[in-house]
Amino acid sequence: MTGANDDAFRLRSLLDIAKVVSSTRRFDDLVEATAESARRSLDAASLSISRWDRESGVLRTLVNVGMLCPGETRFPDDETYSLAAWPDLAVLVEDRLSFLATVGDGSAEGGLLAQMGRDSSLSVPIIVESRTWGELWAARVAGQPRYLEEDLDFAEAVAVQIGAAVVQADHLARVERLAFTDPLTGLANRRAVDERLDLALADHRATKGSVSVILADINRLKQVNDTFGHEAGDRLIVSVAAAVSRASGLARDAMAARIGGDEFCVVISGEPLATAVLVAEELCRLVDTQPMSTGISCGVASTEVLSGPVDSAVRLFRLADAAQYRAKRAGSRHPVVAGRSAPEDEVDAGEDDRRVRRGRLSTDVQAALESGLALLDAMPDDGVKERLEQVADHVRDILDAAAWWLSGVAPGAEDLVTLNSSVQRAAEQVPGMSGGFAEVGLTFDLRDYPLTRRAIEGAGSFAVEVGMPGNDAAEEATLVSAGYHSMLAAGASDAESGWLVEVYADHISLPMAAFEPVLRALVAIAVAGVRRSGGEPDDEPAVPHARSERR
């Protein structure tokens, strides 16, 4: 067919597809009938219609018609193509551009044609409401004319008809999906994530299969909005969403979502932690290579790093959020995994000095000690309590510890009194243990805690980790009842009081053991280095007398 006859055939073909659209209601029936009409109109040996699944970052084939390859089915259960594995598809999905392929052209698509016994193909995006909905793929075999550039124009017209069919047949389903879809990016929303996680964790409890959560947020989005306007910020959000979707395709069963203004989430179930890390690494790489990128901070948490089944998504989210915070604080261009040390810090020039300092200190014991001494040097007129609180804050921030407690004992007393505490992350409640452990005014009889007494009286220190051989039984019981994983403690005494600083870690804190000498030295100097006025005695004692109740 050539010339006017060819044009007339194509027009009739488009009219045939329009009739199919108007007469078919069920989505599956419509896709199948439209695919058959499109195959005839494009004179294709075989044709497929696939849908772009933003949540999992893959093209999912809905129907294959015409000549099928061995093992290929008309309605495949799980035939998918990720953008990461098929870079040609990124042009179609992200740039909405059609392309041709032929056997021997050196492309991944050309290699696929050779495996399938096809000779040439065309790939055209199906556009719905200005977004890529899916792909129309048609192929010819040897002996048929190869597809040419002029065939793309007609194929795109066919794709427009298929898009109209999708709008009609998918309307009611899309209305329902809106409750689970972020309108700006087309990804799943927080409601959809919560439902998916509930199902994934139920399966985890039944089968012990892994569940992982990736949290990522855009760095300096507010700066982009303030400098270039919210429209530019929205474009950045959409581009990052595309990267989240694309990276998610590396996992077999992943859901990509936007759960906040600048925050994204990927839920991965039934895959090992290594797969989640691979997805997170690819996400960071994709965002980092985008023009005008401000980067992202990415945290990963998995049931693999937790002991026992996880009963609630809250704990997994909290772990991922804390890991993400560590990535942001370190300026890392790589994901941070909960339960592992942070990667080497990569802070950009011009970042906040405090963040730079903390990031470097987390791997440099000597620098941590020197910076702690500088903090104490800057507060010679403060009291012991205030100086020790500064020391506790300093060590907690370096190690990303969960909490610290400051306690004191009055001269001649046997009761250690809780004076203050700071909780960065609340501990998991331990069954059978009461709460309020760090409540100010609670007391502990030092006769039951000889290790603590020795630390206070001798300016010493100690470390406890749950389950480690050689632990002091009383100290380990205290740690378990608090709900934390490990702790460092250092004590010292002056003429007025005895003092104890305890820093508590959970499973996402950095390793603490190397910092025991740092805490011991800083506590001793904080107590010994207070400038005394030599005048009248204070109206209030440094450590109040203990309340009568004891733990």
Token digits of residue 359: 């990031």
Q: Which of 395, 332, 333, 330 is nearest to 359 (CA)?
A: 330
Q: Which ranges in 142-208 belong to alpha helices (H)?
A: 149-169, 171-177, 190-207
Question: How far apart (Å, rounded) are the C-alpha atoms in residues 521 and 9?
Answer: 88
Residues 116 and 213 in one domain: no
Domain ranges, residue 272: 181-351
Helix or strand holding residue 462 (H, E): strand 461-465
> According to the model, what pLDDT value does residue 177 have?
57
How far, in Å, are 277, 282, 310, 337, 504 from residue 302 at the CA level? Answer: 10, 17, 10, 8, 22
Residues 277 and 165 in one domain: no
In a domain, 101, yes or no: yes
Residues 330 and 190 in one domain: yes
Out of 294, 324, 351, a domain closes at: 351
Ramachandran quadrant class, 308 (left: phi over 0; alpha: psi -120 to 50; beta: rest) = left
Question: How far apart (Å, rounded) are the C-alpha atoms in residues 175 and 143?
Answer: 46
Tell me, yes or no, if the pTM score tops 0.85: no
Residues 335 and 233 in one domain: yes
> According to the model, what pLDDT value does residue 167 have?
76
422 close to 392: Cβ distance less than 8 angstroms = yes
> How many helices and strands in the chain, by DSSP H and E?
17, 17
In a domain, 538, yes or no: no
Token digits of residue 485: 């994983």
Task: Give the CATH number, domain containing residue 285.
Answer: 3.30.70.270
In a domain, 215, yes or no: yes
> According to the model, what pLDDT value does residue 84 have?
79
Residues 299 and 402 in one domain: no
Residues 407 and 329 in one domain: no
pLDDT in tens, the chain (551 residues): 344 456 677 777 777 777 766 665 567 777 888 888 889 889 999 999 999 988 788 899 999 999 999 889 999 988 999 887 888 888 899 889 999 999 999 888 899 999 999 999 999 999 988 889 999 999 999 999 999 998 999 999 999 888 887 776 665 455 555 667 888 998 999 888 988 898 888 888 888 889 999 999 999 888 888 888 888 889 999 999 999 999 999 998 899 999 988 999 999 999 999 999 999 999 999 998 887 788 899 999 888 876 556 666 877 887 788 788 778 877 888 998 876 655 544 444 334 433 333 344 444 678 788 888 988 988 888 899 999 999 998 898 888 888 899 999 988 888 999 999 888 776 654 333 333 445 678 888 888 888 899 999 988 999 888 777 777 777 777 777 677 878 899 999 988 889 999 999 886 777 788 889 999 999 999 998 776 544 443 444 555 544 433 33
Residues 202 and 144 in one domain: no
Residues 167 and 222 in one domain: no
Question: How far apart (Å, rounded) are the C-alpha atoms in residues 51 and 72?
Answer: 17
Out of 351, 382, 398, a domain closes at: 351
Residues 323 and 229 in one domain: yes
In a domain, 357, yes or no: no
Token digits of residue 455: 């630390």
Say how many domains are in the chain: 3
Residues 166 and 299 in one domain: no
How far, in Å, are 59, 108, 109, 276 from residue 103 at the CA level? Answer: 22, 10, 8, 35
In a domain, 97, yes or no: yes
Residues 74 and 214 in one domain: no
In a domain, 373, yes or no: yes
Token digits of residue 437: 């452990």
Out of 175, 197, 224, a domain closes at: 175
Residues 335 and 370 in one domain: no
Task: Give the CATH number, domain containing residue 473.
Answer: 3.30.450.40
